[in-house]
Structure 1
Amino acid sequence: MSGSNSSNPAAADTGAFDQPLGLTVHSLPLPQEAALVDEQRTRSGRWKMLAVMLVCAAPVVASYLTYYVIRPEGHRSYGELIEPQRPIPPVAARTLDGQAVNLTSLQGQWLLVSVAGGACDAKCERHLYLQRQLREGLGRDKERMDWVWLVDDQAPVREALKPGLATATVLRMDPAQLAQWLAPEAGHALAEHLYVVDPMGHWMMRFPAGVEPAKARRDLERLMRGSAGWDQPGRPNN
Structure 2
Amino acid sequence: MLLLLALVCAAPVIASYLMYYVFKPAGGTSSYGALIEPQRPIPAQLVVTDESGQRLPFKSLEGKWLMVIVNGSDCDEQCATRLYFMRQVRALQSGERERVVNVWLRTDDKPVSDVLKTAYPQPDTRMLVADEKAIAAWLPAGDGTKLTDHIFLVDPNGNLMMRFPKNPDPKKINADVAKLLKWSRIG
- Separation in structure 1 between the aligned mates of residue 100 and residue 170 of structure 2, nearest angstrom: 16
> What's the counterpart of residue 190 of structure 1?
147
Q: Tell me, yes or no, if structure 1 residue 149 matches structure 2 residue 104.
A: yes
Q: Which has the higher strand share?
A: 2
- 1:211 is paired with a residue whose SS is coil
> What's the counterpart of residue 5 of structure 1?
none
1:200 to 154, 157, 160: 157
> What's the counterpart of residue 7 of structure 2?
none
Find runs of 4+ consecutive structure 1 residues off by over 4 angstroms.
Answer: none
Q: Tell me, yes or no, if structure 1 residue 77 matches structure 2 residue 42.
A: no
1:98 to 32, 46, 53: 53
Deviations 1:85-110 (A, max 9, x none): 10011221102332111110010001
> What's the counterpart of residue 170 of structure 1?
127
- Separation in structure 1 between the aligned mates of residue 52 and residue 75 of structure 2, nearest angstrom: 17
> What's the counterpart of residue 13 of structure 2?
none
2:41 to 87, 104, 109: 87
Matching residue's letter, 1:76: S
- Separation in structure 2 between the aligned mates of residue 115 and residue 84 of structure 1, nearest angstrom: 21
- Separation in structure 1 between the aligned mates of residue 134 and residue 47 of structure 2, nearest angstrom: 9
Structure 1 position 183, deviation (Å): 1.4
Deviations 1:103-153 (A, max 9, x none): 100100011111110000001111111111100101111111111110012
TM-score with structure 2 setting the length = 0.80
1:109 to 31, 43, 64: 64
Unaligned runs of 5+ in 2: 1-27
Q: Tell me, yes or no, if structure 1 residue 125 matches structure 2 residue 80.
A: yes
TM-score with structure 1 setting the length = 0.64
Q: How does 1:19-58 map to 2 (within 5 A)?
A: none
- Separation in structure 2 between the aligned mates of residue 116 and residue 128 of structure 1, nearest angstrom: 11
> What's the counterpart of residue 171 of structure 2?
214
- Relative contact order, higher structure (CA 8 A, sep 6+): 2
RMSD of aligned Cα (Å): 1.3
1:224 to 160, 181, 187: 181
Q: Tell me, yes or no, if structure 1 residue 136 matches structure 2 residue 91.
A: yes
- 2:66 is paired with a residue whose SS is strand
- Separation in structure 2 between the aligned mates of residue 108 and residue 181 of structure 1, nearest angstrom: 19
Matching residue's letter, 1:80: A
Structure 1 position 82, deviation (Å): 0.4
Deviations 1:34-93 (A, max 9, x none): xxxxxxxxxxxxxxxxxxxxxxxxxxxxxxxxxxxxxxxx85211000000100112211
- Separation in structure 2 between the aligned mates of residue 223 and residue 112 of structure 1, nearest angstrom: 13
Structure 1 position 205, deviation (Å): 0.2
